[in-house]
Amino acid sequence: MSQQITLNVNGDGHVVQVEPDSMLLYALRDNLGLRGPKFGCGLSECGACTVLRDGKAIRSCITPVSAVGTSRIITLEGLGTAEHPHPLQQAFIEEQAAQCGYCINGMIMQAASLLKQNPHPSRDDIKKALNGNLCRCGTHMRIVRAVERAAGRANG
């Protein structure tokens, strides 16, 4: 039976009418119209659906919307704007880190969580943090360089 649930997404409160056991990903995409988080696998294996929950990366494809509670959810759309992109978004653009772009949401959101926890990651730290995010196009080294660039810009 569907119910109204209030979500804090990208700094704003949103009331959504959903089944409590439906996944956060569907509320974000279907109810709120956000296109950053993607459906990739539905099993928490690819990372395309990654969002930040109170600053930590989570997989929205396996997170029931009812489990979010009062947590602050940030999606790719909430990191920056077209006029003022987040340092990670800008670095991904400058490094041309996307080919098809399907994985980029997850890569950026996972990297944002990493940089929040570790502002000066080594290349190995970056690779380890992104290990659970899949890129089919093979732009892995550009993605790693973009995270390194963003870390240097935000911290240097």
Residue 142 belongs to a domain with what CATH number?
A: 1.10.150.120
Rounded Cα distance, 86 and 61, in Å: 24
Rounded Cα distance, 21 and 37, in Å: 18
Do 110 and 67 share a structural domain?
no
Average the pLDDT over each of 31-35, 72-76, 115-119, 152-156 and give the range with the smallest value: 152-156
pLDDT at 138 (0 to 100)? 87
Do 135 and 103 share a structural domain?
yes
Please check the confidence at residue 8 and state whether its pLDDT lies above 70: yes
Q: Which of 78, 98, 131 is the last residue of a domain?
A: 78
Residues in the chain: 156
Q: Can you give the pTM of this predicted structure?
A: 0.93
Do 112 and 65 share a structural domain?
no
Q: How confident is residue 137, by pLDDT bands cut at 50, 70 and 90?
A: confident
Do 74 and 50 share a structural domain?
yes
Please check the confidence at residue 74 and state whether its pLDDT lies above 80: yes
CA-based torsion, 114, 128, 48, 69: positive or negative: negative
Q: What is the mean pLDDT of residues 131-140?
A: 91
CATH of the domain at 25: 3.10.20.30
**96: domain range?**
87-155
pLDDT at 156 (0 to 100)? 47
Q: Which two tokens stand for residue 47?
A: 């990372």
Please check the confidence at residue 155 and state whether its pLDDT lies above 70: no
Q: How far is CA 63 from CA 16, 60, 91, 100, 151, in A?
A: 16, 5, 29, 26, 28
Number of domains the chain contains: 2
What element of type H or E holds 8?
Answer: strand 3-9
Q: What is the mean pLDDT of residues 106-135?
A: 97
Rounded Cα distance, 96 and 119, in Å: 22
Do 94 and 120 share a structural domain?
yes
Do 31 and 59 share a structural domain?
yes
Do 70 and 131 share a structural domain?
no
Do 67 and 100 share a structural domain?
no
Do 71 and 7 share a structural domain?
yes
